[in-house]
Structure 1
Amino acid sequence: MNELKFGTLIKEHSPALRRHAIRYTKNEDDADDLVQDTMIKAIRFYKNFEEGTNIKGWLFVIMRNTFINDYRKNTRKNALITQTDEISSQDLAVSASANKATGTFILGDIQKALASIPEIYSTPFIRYFEGHKYQEIADEFNMPIGTVKTRIHIAREMLKKYLKTYQP
């Protein structure tokens, strides 16, 4: 069977394919797109069809697989990208660009929290936060590494208590 004859054969099944596509998509325009994608794939892979087998069933399998693949692709895309015209405050909370005023308040609260912690805890914590290693901090303050780790841990706990309003 050649490609032209095969195209004519599958065209006879397009009304049944469209009815089936509407059941999947619940939308006529999307159903038309699904039928078109199904027909294109069927023509592209017509050599895989074995003559004498159920062509309608073969087309329905192509349609089902196409629908599932498109659904998965769209689900992944929608999970990564907000596609609404109206962006909610929840979307803005996770946005890369934060409100400068909110950032200023948060930074002020963090500075107040650090100021409220005794210096023996805050200084090693700040050094660690700046990227220094435990051993470097221990050498700088001439204290055991275990003491440095303990003081940083205590500073974290104090900050958590002070900044608990920012926890989700």
Structure 2
Amino acid sequence: MENRELVRMLEKQSPQLRAHALKFTGDIDDANDLVQDTLIKALRFQDSFEEGSNLKGWLFVILKNTFINSYKKSRQKRDLIKPEDELSPGELIPSSIGNKALNSFLMADIQTALAKVPESYRIPFVRYFEGYKYHEIAEELGIPLGTVKTHIHQARLMLKKQLKAYNLDRQKNIN
């Protein structure tokens, strides 16, 4: 099957996938992300689709498996943080007071490091940090989704390299 034909067929299935994804997620943004991930996987693994078989069924299996894998990951993260591990506000006050000066130096260093990141990487990174989803950033900037992900990744690497001293200090404090 040609790529164009597959894309056309996937577009036809999108509304039904979105409705099904919404039943899983209960949130329209999460459902859109789930459909997007499903369609990307379908394109990536199009060679495993047998022409003449049920495309809709194949897509729904991908959607369901993608949701299940995502759910398992989020559940594992949630299980790592237990309510008894949380600190009360009274326990946090001495720590926050002592860290105020350090945090102001850290923020200044982060801003300096961020200013050194090329604008094409910095803008998507800042948008992602502000809570925007990849597809929202891609739409706003008019660039492909993969480019957004690459630029955010590159910005992280640059910042990690520039702020390496803080990571070394943190590792010393852990040991």
Q: Normalising by structure 2, what TM-score?
A: 0.48
When Rg is computed on C-alpha atoms for both structures, the one with the higher figure is 1
Q: Normalising by structure 1, what TM-score?
A: 0.50
- Between structures 1 and 2, the one with greater helix share: 2
